[in-house]
Amino acid sequence: MIRSILCLLLFAVPVFSQSVQNTLQDVLRLEHNTREALNHYSFKRDVLLETLDRDSQVTGQYVRYSEFVFDDSGRRIERVIDKHSTMKELKITDQDIQDLADAQMLGLDDAGKYELSMADGLVEVRPRQTPDPRKMSERYFNGRLWLDEAGRITRVRGVVEPAGRQRFPWFDTYRANVGAAYPFPVKTEADDVLHFPHKDIRYRINVKYYDYRRFRTDVTIKEIEPLSEKVSFNTKLSTGRPEMFFTSWPLGSTVQVYSEPGFTPEQRKAIARALNAWNVGAVRFEYRGEGQGQVTVRRQNVLALDKKHFAYFQSYISDGQLTAGEIFIDHRAVRPEAIESIVVHEIGHSLGLSDCKDCKSVMRPFPSVNKSNGFVAPTELDLSVLRQRSEIRDQKSEIRNR
Ligand SMILES: [Zn+2]
């Protein structure tokens, strides 16, 4: 058994130890995922634009409070809640409004428009073609990106082009953990002097993005599929042996798991044990305590939603791989041994395993809401099914090498 597990790890290494050349691709892939993830969130944005005189006194303000939601086709819609202006020296243009929602918020839009290079761990971004001042609505970001250890963008600094007869400031946008699978923008700041032909104007931007809320929808948005309760309850039930049925995590990844507030210390220990029980293969699980993150263990009235289930795993899929999820547990499952067993079972689903009747497996059904199914760790049968996945991977890479 131990030898097979080592093999799993060995197979995973060539796939995930990326060379430096691949790093830019990783950044773009993660950024693509971030944008897709953002499509599942509504958020609020407060914009404050100001002009200042030489003594740093504010001479004019433009205020715009909005809510961003998405329509059925995944298009972002701005709902302006309040807007007013006392600004006299500057006219806020369509491009200013466009930049606020696009380049100043996220930096890159279509990666194909840019020449990217890595320098000192930062990504330099230059437009591939010179932005054309006759086409002011075709906006280009020009600047650099800061990354975290995982290659995710944490800060964007640059300017938006072309300028034409307008002037645009250098800005900084910072991203942070807001409880989503990726860091999202939390603020944009600029304090720059705009040079016009006959005068200089000091211009300040303060934007906050906040109140990110994942909205539940039955609409399938391209590439990430939030499974509705109905779909995720529609599980596959095998007999004798669980099957690889669901989309799983990338091999070699470490999945960070949180539990929302409300679980007792004993219950949290049970969650940590359950995750640790799976740390024998090519995907690792790390319990990060209370909070929200890549995977969040939550309470819900699951039994009320569907009489047959009291826990389920909701998956978030991007590019054919699982990127985030939630484990929902019915409020009535309170005994630590029940919770331990439930979390082991739901993590089994996240690794691709189907439910299994009459199996010596963690994927067995549960006798009742507050009882264990008898397993608190994957069995040899579970691991043997998972091992097939890495064999499939290996055959693929052999074909590629030939
Ligand atoms: Zn199940």
Range in 11-25, 119-133, 158-172, 275-289 with the lowest mean pLDDT: 11-25
Ligand 1 center to residue 394 CA distance, Å?
28
- Segment 11-63, tens digit of pLDDT: 333 333 334 445 888 888 889 888 888 877 889 999 999 999 999 999 999 99
Query: Residue 230 pLDDT more than 50?
Result: no
CA 179 to centroid of ligand 1, rounded, Å: 25
Percent pLDDT > 90 in the chain is 51
Does the pTM exceed 0.85?
no
C-alpha of residue 319 to centroid of ligand 1, in Å:
24
* Per-residue pLDDT at 400: 38
Separation of CA 88 and ligand 1 centre (Å): 62
Q: State mean pLDDT over 369-382.
A: 94
Look at residue 295 in the predicted model and tell me its pLDDT: 92
pLDDT of the residue at 172: 97
Indicate the pLDDT class of residue 186, thresholds 50, 70 and 90.
Answer: very high
Instruction: Using the predicted structure, report yes or no on whether residue 233 has a pLDDT greater than 70.
Output: no
CB contact at 8 A, 348 and 379: no
| The predicted structure's pLDDT at residue 391 | 54
Å from CA of 15 to ligand 1 middle? 29
Q: Which CATH class is domain 21-214?
A: mainly beta
Say if residue 195's pLDDT is above 60.
yes
Q: Which of the two residues, 197 and 222, has the higher pLDDT score? A: 197
345 CA → ligand 1 middle, Å: 6
For position 62, what pLDDT does the model report? 94
- What pLDDT sits at residue 390? 64
Q: What is the predicted pLDDT for the residue at 396?
A: 40
Domain residue extents for the chain: 21-214, 226-401
Distance 354 CA to ligand 1 centre (A): 7
Q: Is the dihedral of CA 232, 68, 131, 158 positive or negative?
A: negative
Question: Ligand 1 mean position to 255 CA, how many Å?
Answer: 19
Continuous H helices in 168-281: 229-233, 265-277
In whole angstroms, give the CA distance from residue 179 to residue 192.
Answer: 32
Q: Give SS3 for 350.
A: helix
Q: Which CATH superfamily is domain 226-401 in?
A: Collagenase (Catalytic Domain) (3.40.390.10)
The runs of H, that is alpha helices, within 185-257 are: 229-233
387 CA distance to ligand 1 middle (Å):
20
Contact 260, 297 (CB under 8 A): yes
Distance CA 171, CA 157 (A): 6
Q: How far is the CA of 12 from the centre of ligand 1 (A)?
A: 26
Round to whole Å and give the CA distance between 30 and 146. Answer: 13
Q: What is the pLDDT of residues 311-367, one digit of tens each?
A: 888 888 777 788 888 898 999 999 999 999 999 999 999 999 999 988 999 999 988
- β-pair partners for 124: 117, 144
So what's the pLDDT on residue 8?
29
Checking if the pLDDT of 253 tops 90, the result is: yes
